[in-house]
Amino acid sequence: MKLKRMILMVALLLVWCGPAGYFQEAEEELTPYLGDPGEFEAFVDGIMAVQMQANKIAGAAVSVVLDGKVFFAKGYGWADVEKRIPVSAETTLFRPGSVSKLFTWTAIFQLREQGKLDLDADINTYLDFEIPNTYPEKITLKNLMSHTPGFEDVVIGMGAKKPENLKSMNEFLAEHLPERVMPPGRHTAYSNYGTALAGYIVERVTGMPFETYVEQYIFKPLHMTHSTFRQPLPVGLDKEMSGGYTYRNGRFKKEKFELISGLSPAGALSASALDMAFFMIAHLNLGVYDDLRILEEETARFMHSRLFSHHPDIEGNAHGFWEYNINGLRTIGHGGDTILFHSLLGLVPSRNIGFFISYNSVGGGGGPRDQFFKAVMNRYFPAPPAERIDPAKGFKKLAGRYTGVFTSNRRISSSFIKLMKLFQTMRITSDRDGALLTSGGSGIRRWVEKDSLVFQEYEGQDRLVFQEDDKNRITHAFIGRLPYFGFDKMKWYETPRFSILVLVFCFLLFFSTLTWPLGALRRRFCSQNNSQMSRGEKTARWIAGGFAALNVLFLLLFAAVNSDPVRMMYGIPAALKIVLLLPMAAGILVVASVFMLTYALFRGHFTVCGRLHYLLLIVAGFIFIWFLKYWNLLGFHF
């Protein structure tokens, strides 16, 4: 058995070093049979051994269901590293993050069955505060399920450091009402706030706390005795909670239990892998587990059907589940992340199979969970040979309309965090063969035109789709395997490259008043001797140097205060409020510099070079003010 596991580990290492991380079966080998528990366990053991070592993961839990039964459930590593408590798939609780949303949508459909909710009604019908009518179209529960209500994202204040800092849903949702930045039903933009609204509607309609409703009508019939939405954890379950770990200085460090404030239905679940298996069985069995029904068959079928997609050729949303096309098989599921825990639930209805995996360490984010799912699917359900499409002749001449810089539409528009738009970009270019290239967080990928506005990944399975406006200008892009959000084409003055040019121009001039060698060169060629300068000239120099220094200091302190963006989840640091005063003071001095320059020109002060430098410095000051205002950094935009 040990030799077999070693061979599997080596094979997996070779897999992940290959193109796209897919497991490639040798042509002469037969596809392994998933129904062999021993073979499957050995395979998963190999995956987990490699992942946990490579990604510094303290512990993980896996559960797999097949044909209405638990096929596999196993814990790996440690629930508590210091106490040497191993992970148990049956009893150890993990934080599956946004996988929690599937319970919220299940609750919504239960209430729909009872006639208590209309998925097409204006959600204001069910709330005790009002969502503004920014657009003529109403927001419905279907919009919330498909993440198409058109809300900006909400980040500030969604975490709490202590239980006493937790806010109720009513309080949080009313206080943190996001701006409506898109008409509902148009584009997907992942929204924790929207799901929390749905959970609050469950409270409003049933008259009981959301946590209590889920316990009574989902957990209880599914025998999910090691699951809860309650924060802090109830007595008893708190002893079975896995620690959440970071890895520092060669050792694992256990962090505090993560508290989610006001958005509980969107991500506050704590559950064991075996409990999640029961939930998967219920959905794959179309609402039934152990002869107990949580959804009617018709309801479950409807819930698993497609609700929204940006294009028929790419994945979309299935009433709260996300769609994935894995090796030609339609899969529905949901990923989930807290700061420390990282999870994935996937159901393959056509094969009556479900997978759940959760990691308890920062290193489990993103890659490992997707690698696990792909490795399993590629081993037991290998992809058919990829269709190869060569670039069409003459397309290179048309490629220019698709190229540019695009940014994720899951963003914040009303606060200073709008600046993150610069770091959530995808650049699209074309190569000499007439294919499109996308570069961003997932590396460089090559795409070939398949149909009008539709592109196929070269020798791959993914799709890239574009949308255009009524003037045939490309405005949006969507990637099939990223159904959670779209990409908006950025205007030239929004792009990272332009922003960098603005900052370089401004700060070269700001530094020219302050530091060597720029300051020394400016003084040598553009300044008069101090003894020959009038009081007005000296005052002008001090004012210019003042706003330049304040702007430089602002940039440095702003970067320092925001070096850990996670802090924003717990509220606005007091230091940031002080830092934001600096550009406002600098702006006053910039305006004063205009009067000083006018005075200098009228009185004939400064050399010609000195006047030009002073003018450029003022121009840089006003450009910087525009830059700060555009990115919500001028004033207090929280």
Please state the rounded mean pLDDT for residues 523-547.
Answer: 64
Is the pLDDT at 104 greater than 80, yes or no?
yes
Question: Distance between CA atoms of 132 and 452, rounded to whole angstroms?
Answer: 37
Q: How many CA atoms lie within 13 A of 318 on its CB side?
A: 25
Give the domain CATH number at 298.
3.40.710.10
Residue of 89, 98, 94, 185 whose CA lies nearest to 135: 185
Question: Distance between CA atoms of 456 and 426, rounded to whole angstroms?
Answer: 17
The identity of residue 67, as a single letter, is D
For the record, the structure tokens of 489 come out as 């084409």
The Cα-based distances of 249 to 231, 245, 306 in angstroms read 31, 13, 47
Q: Which of 148-162, 227-241, 509-523 has the highest mean pLDDT?
A: 227-241
Please state at what angle helix 608-630 crosses helix 496-512, rounded to 10 degrees.
140
Exposure class string for 409-432: b at 16+ Cβ within 10 A, else e: bbbbbebbbbbbbbebbbbbbbee
| DSSP class per residue in 457-480 | ETTSS-EEEEEE-TTS-EEEEEET
| More confident position, 418 or 69 | 69
Is the pLDDT at 603 greater than 70, yes or no?
no
Q: What is the pLDDT of residue 4?
A: 42
Q: What is the pLDDT of residue 29?
A: 47
Same domain, 95 and 224: yes
Same domain, 417 and 447: yes
Q: pLDDT tens digits, residue range 125-180?
A: 999 999 999 999 999 999 999 999 999 998 888 999 999 999 999 999 999 999 99
Same domain, 148 and 288: yes
pLDDT band at 599 (very low <50, low <70, confident <90, very high): low
Last residue of a domain, one of 490, 523, 556: 490
Q: What is the pLDDT of residue 522?
A: 52
Q: Which domain holds residue 455?
A: 395-490
Residue 564 parent element (H or E): none
Same domain, 460 and 508: no
Same domain, 223 and 75: yes
Calculate the CA dihedral of residues 361, 362, 365, 371 and round it to 10 degrees.
Answer: -50
Exposure class string for 49-62: b at 16+ Cβ within 10 A, else e: bbbbeebbbbbbbb
Q: Is residue 583 part of a domain?
A: yes
Same domain, 355 and 401: no
When the pLDDT of each residue in the chain is averaged and rounded to a whole number, the result is: 88
Q: What is the pLDDT of residue 25?
A: 35
Q: How many domains does the chain have?
A: 3
Same domain, 233 and 196: yes
Q: Is residue 34 part of a domain?
A: no
For the record, the structure tokens of 272 come out as 């064991």
Specify the range with the lowest mean pLDDT, choosing from 246-260, 401-415, 470-484, 567-581. 567-581
Peptide bond before residue 382 is cis, with ω within 30 degrees of 0:
no
Q: What is the pLDDT of residue 188?
A: 97
Are the CB atoms for 313 and 463 separated by under 8 Å?
yes
Residue 178: DSSP 8-state: P
Q: Which residues contact 384 (CB under 8 A, 6 or more apart)?
A: 327, 328
Q: pLDDT tens digits, residue range 12-59?
A: 333 333 333 333 333 334 667 788 899 999 999 999 999 999 999 999
Same domain, 605 and 567: yes
Backbone angles phi, psi at 548, to 5 degrees: -65, -45
Is the pLDDT at 594 greater than 90, yes or no?
no
pLDDT band at 114 (very low <50, low <70, confident <90, very high): very high
Q: Which residues contact 516 (CB under 8 A, 6 or more apart)?
A: none
Q: What is the pLDDT of residue 1?
A: 43
Same domain, 407 and 293: no
Q: pLDDT tens digits, residue range 238-289?
A: 999 999 999 999 999 999 999 999 999 999 999 999 999 999 999 999 999 9
Specify the range with the lowest mean pLDDT, choosing from 114-128, 413-427, 556-570, 613-627. 556-570
Q: pLDDT tens digits, residue range 352-365?
A: 999 999 999 999 87
Same domain, 458 and 605: no
Give the domain CATH number at 483.
2.40.128.50
Looking at the chain, the whole-number percentage of residues with pLDDT higher than 70 is 89
Peptide bond before residue 517 is cis, with ω within 30 degrees of 0:
yes
Backbone angles phi, psi at 599, to 5 degrees: -65, -45
Are the CB atoms for 629 and 418 separated by under 8 Å?
no
SS3 511: helix
Last residue of a domain, one of 438, 470, 490: 490
Q: pLDDT tens digits, residue range 50-86?
A: 999 999 999 999 999 999 999 999 999 999 999 999 9
Same domain, 212 and 147: yes
Give 311's strand partners.
Answer: none
Q: What is the pLDDT of residue 15?
A: 34
Please state the rounded mean pLDDT for residues 610-638.
Answer: 88
Please state the rounded mean pLDDT for residues 410-437.
Answer: 90
Question: Distance between CA atoms of 405 and 494, rounded to whole angstroms?
Answer: 9
Last residue of a domain, one of 490, 514, 538: 490
Backbone angles phi, psi at 188, to 5 degrees: -75, 135
- Map tokens 């106490």 to a residue: 83
Please state the rounded mean pLDDT for residues 477-482.
Answer: 95
Is the pLDDT at 533 greater than 70, yes or no?
no
| More confident position, 605 or 401 | 401
SS3 424: coil
Same domain, 110 and 176: yes
Q: What is the pLDDT of residue 511?
A: 82
Exposure class string for 596-608: b at 16+ Cβ within 10 A, else e: bbeebeeeebbee
Q: Is residue 353 part of a domain?
A: yes
Q: What is the pLDDT of residue 321?
A: 98
Q: Which residues contact 551 (CB under 8 A, 6 or more apart)?
A: 506, 507, 510, 582, 583, 586, 621, 624
Q: Is residue 137 part of a domain?
A: yes
Is the pLDDT at 517 greater than 70, yes or no?
no
